[in-house]
């Protein structure tokens, strides 16, 4: 008889999205931050794909696209930390 190996403990996701986001370690604000970073990254890749044949224009547009991609990566990595001070204001 085969012996089954448990790879992960069972999760109770009966309360819906809150439980799901807790299992992947994201809050609602963290998910929004990652979504915004993904949209910015898509815009940056599109900017890179639309470079012109003019060398000066391509250099300028390419550097702007790389800068935009850098902003998207920083926002994806540290966005939760950056915006946590805004959302946890004390009154």
**Structural domain boundaries of the chain?**
27-86
31 in Cβ contact with 24 (< 8 Å) = no
Element holding 79 (H helix, E strand)? helix 55-87
Contact 72/37 with Cβ under 8 angstroms? yes
pTM summary value: 0.60
User: Cα–Cα distance between 1 and 51 in angstroms, integer?
Assistant: 62
Residue by residue, pLDDT tens for the chain (91 residues) are: 677 777 777 767 677 666 666 666 666 666 777 888 889 999 989 988 887 788 888 888 889 989 999 998 888 888 777 766 655 555 5
Inter-axis angle of helices 28-49 and 55-87, nearest 10:
180
């Amino acid at each position: 008889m085969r012996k089954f190996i448990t790879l992960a403990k069972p999760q109770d996701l009966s309360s819906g999205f809150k439980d799901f986001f807790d299992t992947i370690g994201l809050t609602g604000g963290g998910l929004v931050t990652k979504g915004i970073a993904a949209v910015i990254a898509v815009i940056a890749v599109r900017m890179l794909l639309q470079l012109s044949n003019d060398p000066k224009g391509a250099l300028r547009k390419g550097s702007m696209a790389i800068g935009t991609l850098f902003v998207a990566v920083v926002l994806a990595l540290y966005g939760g930390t950056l915006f946590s001070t805004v959302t946890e204001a004390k009154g």
